[in-house]
């Protein structure tokens, strides 16, 4: 049997390379083989950090009995959803349409042409074997009916995709009439979110609870526009952020957030740690600190960034995708504690005190009497806690550690880049800026090939999967944040190139953006999701980057494309704000901006002006600094020193105030609507 997965760059595919199942990667050759043999296709989609993917792999794909059935009657295709989000999106739409829910592992049965005729998620081995037998029998006796059924499903999904595309209802001269998300709509979105807020435990809705990072970013921007110190929007953010930071979903020893909480109280996490969650949440906590001065928010922001660098950093200077939910096949094995274990590490007195502090008791909050660690209040003795925390972490590191999915995903690294660049600037922490710069240099050198992005790399070897819309949008977002933090023109130039390519290849002439390029592999649907799910959707990611870039460069085309994308998602954002957090955050920036601030000069006065501007919470602010007429930076063009002194230039909507040279005048200028 040929091992077709052995050369994959995806750790998930490599996990299955030695299975007895005769796996194929997603490829034209696999579909040709199914046509040649006239057999159905098993499509199995998952990702390396997925707990139930591992369970199904151990039960079924490592089984000689299951492999014999699959190899005899099917062509089996394995896909990493993080490497091929386009394939995942298309077949997840089929799975949710047929079953009413989705998830991973995703298990689909396809005709040799790729049309789905059955879909599901996790199957225990016995149930999976019964499914395979039923599909084989049906294919043999009613193959024509199944082919027709698959084509009917494709037709229905195609029609549904057109409905969900959310094309603008009003188009004037080829441009949408505004964003469709004005002050009234954004204020109403805050009210809808408040109505679904968990007043007792923070967050939105019931269990399981996912960190609502993009919704929180929208609420912070809504507060920035409102300006009230006791706004409803800010209260939703502070309540949720404190609950998450104090709960078991946050790693109280090493920093960083798990994927979600299985309960409503944020106590027991699903233990996988994803790069995108932590990058987005670090930025939220950073912005919360900027808005409120909260020491907790600053601590969580820096600890989360430090976790990313320490545990997800790759030798090339980028960031790995995730840490596994499992350790040695057991979920949470690395992280959970019993009172006895705390005493063994810390001694009786400190161990018992730590158990009280971290809510660890004999009943346990997790499995087998163990507990996740919570920190409901900061200890009075900070030095004692620092020592205890260090000793517990050192002891934890002697345990088996979760596996790491070390592929580098372009979009998620763009999110990390944005968080690090902003933290480096806001916290005056050069090390974060240095890490961000190294990451950007790697991505631009390795993932950007002939002006187009690739989706992933591993060990500095770039994969073959083409970049999707979120890759272009999130990487451009990160590069623009780095441009503003560093003052280096090169990052603006690369971002402009990426966004120009995105406008050319991903834009829908009717408004908005598809998830895949016009020259990408054709699937039965060209995916286009207006929602924001675990991370910004491709459309909203591009809208945000285009909007920022237009303010930094003056590009009217980019501004118009951003507004059209917002208009395309406006109906969803207005009615279901929980699923459009980034769209709403970008809409806040569009409503409040552009507010352009250029600080010229490099002396102490310039530093004071720059620091003040960076602490503005205006959603529409873009900020650049450097010498007058610095090459390649439009906002510094024709911006001289004032009487030989450093100065700040403030413009709203491309209409400029007179330059100011003292901090109090800049504060007054930034405070005006």
Q: What is the DSSP string of 374-441?
A: --SS--S-HHHHHHHHHHHHHHHHTS----EE--EEHHHHHHHHHHHHHHHHHTT-HHHHHHHHHHHH
Mean pLDDT over 45-58 rounds to 91
CA distance 30 to 114: 10
**Structure token pair of residue 421:** 């660049």
CA distance 18 to 45: 17
CA angle 533–535–539, rounded 5-degree value? 80
CA distance 360 to 343: 11
**pLDDT for 377-433, tens place per residue?**
999 999 999 999 999 999 999 999 999 999 999 999 999 999 999 999 999 999 999
CA distance 455 to 462: 8
| Cα torsion angle, 294, 300, 303, 304, sign | negative
Sole residue written with tokens 């089984």: 63
What 3-state class would DSSP assign to 513? strand
Quote the pLDDT of residue 170: 37
Q: How confident is the model at residue 160 (pLDDT cuts 50, 70, 90)?
A: confident
Q: What is the dihedral of CA 350, 380, 203, 224, to 10 degrees?
A: -150
CATH architecture for segment(s) 595-671: 3-Layer(aba) Sandwich (3.40)
**What are phi and psi for residue 661, nearest 5 degrees?**
-120, 0
Q: How confident is the model at residue 169 (pLDDT cuts 50, 70, 90)?
A: very low
Q: How confident is the model at residue 172 (pLDDT cuts 50, 70, 90)?
A: very low
User: Among candidates 623, 593, 622, 588, which has minimal Cα distance to 223?
Assistant: 588
Write the DSSP symbol of residue 659: P
Sequence spans of domains, the chain: 11-164, 183-326+405-592, 335-399, 595-671
**Buried-state track 229-246, b at ≥16 Cβ within 10 A, e below 16:** eebbbbebbbbbbbbbbb
Pick the residue with more confidence: 285 or 331? 285
Quote the pLDDT of residue 250: 98
User: How far, CA to CA in Å, does 436 sit from each of 132, 248, 283?
Assistant: 48, 29, 14
pLDDT at 504 over 80: yes
Q: How confident is the model at residue 165 (pLDDT cuts 50, 70, 90)?
A: low
For 102: left if phi > 0, alpha if psi spans -120 to 50, otherwise beta; the answer is beta
Distance of CA 630 to the CA centre of its chain: 33
Quote the pLDDT of residue 492: 98
Which fold does the domain 183-326+405-592 belong to in CATH? Answer: Glycosyltransferase (1.50.10)
Q: What is the mean pLDDT of the chain?
A: 94
pLDDT at 553 over 60: yes
pLDDT at 178 over 80: no
Q: How confident is the model at residue 164 (pLDDT cuts 50, 70, 90)?
A: low
Q: How confident is the model at residue 673 (pLDDT cuts 50, 70, 90)?
A: low
**What are phi and psi for residue 454, nearest 5 degrees?**
-100, 155
**pLDDT for 65-120, tens place per residue?**
999 999 999 999 999 999 999 999 999 999 999 998 889 999 999 999 999 999 99
Which fold does the domain 11-164 belong to in CATH? Answer: Glutaredoxin (3.40.30)
pLDDT at 237 over 90: yes
Evaluate whether 11-164 and 183-326+405-592 have a shared fold.
no
DSSP-derived pairing of the beta strands 273-274 and 322-323: antiparallel
Q: Listing from the earlier edge strand, what are the strands of the sheet with 595-600?
A: 621-626, 595-600, 647-652, 655-656
Sequence-separated (6 or more) residues with CB below 8 Å from residue 632: 489, 490, 492, 493
Quote the pLDDT of residue 655: 86
Mean pLDDT over 551-573 rounds to 96
pLDDT at 294 over 50: yes
Q: Is residue 43 within 8 Å of residue 79, measured between CB atoms?
A: yes
Give 208-243 as a 3 state SS string: CECCCHHHHHHHHHHHHHHCCCCCHHHHHHHHHHHH
pLDDT at 448 over 50: yes
CA distance 399 to 325: 15
Length of the chain: 673
Quote the pLDDT of residue 49: 84
């Amino acid at each position: 049997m040929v091992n077709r997965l052995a050369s994959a760059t995806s750790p998930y595919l490599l996990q299955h390379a030695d299975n007895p199942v005769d796996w194929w990667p997603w490829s034209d050759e696999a579909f040709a083989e199914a046509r040649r043999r006239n057999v159905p296709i098993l499509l199995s989609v998952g990702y390396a950090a997925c707990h139930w993917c591992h369970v199904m792999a151990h039960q079924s794909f490592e089984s000689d009995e299951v492999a014999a059935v699959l190899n005899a009657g099917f062509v089996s295709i394995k896909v990493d959803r993080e490497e091929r989000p386009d394939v995942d999106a298309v077949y997840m739409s089929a799975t949710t349409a047929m079953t009413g829910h989705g998830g991973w592992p995703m298990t689909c049965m396809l005709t040799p042409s790729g049309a789905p005729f059955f879909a599901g998620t996790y199957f225990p081995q016995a149930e999976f074997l019964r499914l395979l037998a039923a599909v084989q029998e049906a294919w043999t006796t009613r193959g024509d009916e199944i082919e027709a059924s698959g084509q009917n499903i494709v037709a229905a999904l195609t029609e549904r995709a057109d409905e969900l595309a959310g094309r603008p209802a009003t188009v004037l001269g080829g441009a949408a009439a505004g964003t469709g998300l004005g002050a009234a709509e954004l204020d109403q979105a805050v009210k809808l979110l408040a109505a679904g807020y968990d007043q007792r435990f923070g967050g939105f809705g019931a269990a399981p609870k996912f960190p609502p990072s993009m919704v929180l970013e929208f609420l912070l921007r809504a507060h920035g526009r409102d300006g009230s110190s006791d706004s409803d929007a800010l209260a939703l953010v502070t309540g949720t952020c404190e609950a998450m930071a104090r709960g078991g979903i946050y790693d109280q020893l090493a920093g960083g957030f798990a994927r979600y909480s299985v309960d409503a109280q944020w106590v027991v996490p699903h233990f996988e740690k994803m790069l995108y969650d932590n990058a987005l949440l670090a930025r939220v906590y950073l912005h919360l600190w900027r808005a409120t001065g909260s020491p907790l928010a600053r601590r969580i922001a820096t600890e989360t960034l430090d976790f990313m660098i320490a545990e997800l950093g790759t030798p090339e200077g980028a960031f790995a995708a995730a840490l596994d939910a499992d350790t040695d096949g057991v979920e949470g094995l690395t992280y959970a504690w019993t009172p006895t274990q705390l005493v063994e590490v810390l001694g009786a007195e400190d161990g018992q005190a730590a158990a009280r502090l971290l809510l660890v008791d004999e009943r346990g909050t997790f499995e087998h009497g163990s507990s996740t660690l919570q920190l409901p209040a900061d200890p009075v003795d900070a030095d004692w806690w620092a020592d205890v925390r260090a000793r517990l972490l050192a002891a934890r590191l002697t345990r088996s550690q979760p596996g790491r999915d070390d592929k580098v995903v372009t979009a998620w690294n763009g999110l990390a880049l944005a968080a690090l660049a902003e933290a480096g600037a806001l916290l005056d922490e050069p090390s974060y800026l240095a890490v961000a710069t190294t990451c950007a240099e790697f991505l631009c050198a390795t993932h950007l090939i002939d002006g187009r992005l690739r989706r992933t790399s591993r060990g500095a070897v770039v994969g073959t999967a083409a970049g999707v819309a979120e890759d272009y949008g999130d990487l451009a977002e990160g590069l623009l944040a780095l441009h503003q933090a560093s003052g280096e023109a090169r990052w603006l130039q690369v971002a402009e190139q990426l966004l120009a390519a995105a406008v050319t290849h991903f834009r829908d002439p009717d408004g908005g953006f598809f998830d895949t390029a016009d020259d990408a592999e054709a699937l039965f649907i060209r995916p286009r999701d207006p929602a924001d799910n675990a991370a910004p959707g491709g459309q909203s990611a591009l809208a945000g980057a285009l909007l920022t870039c237009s303010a930094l460069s003056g590009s009217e085309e980019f501004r118009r494309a951003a507004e059209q994308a917002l208009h395309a998602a406006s109906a969803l954002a207005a009615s279901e704000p929980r699923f459009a957090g980034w769209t709403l955050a970008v809409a806040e920036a569009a409503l409040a901006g552009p507010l352009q601030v250029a600080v010229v000069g490099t002396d102490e006065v310039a530093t004071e002006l720059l620091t003040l501007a960076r602490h503005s919470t205006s959603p529409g602010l873009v900020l650049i600094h450097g010498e007058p007429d610095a090459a390649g930076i439009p906002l510094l063009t024709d911006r001289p020193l004032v009487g030989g002194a450093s100065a700040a230039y403030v413009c709203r909507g491309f209409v400029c105030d007179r330059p100011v040279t003292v901090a109090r005048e800049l504060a007054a200028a930034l405070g005006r609507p």
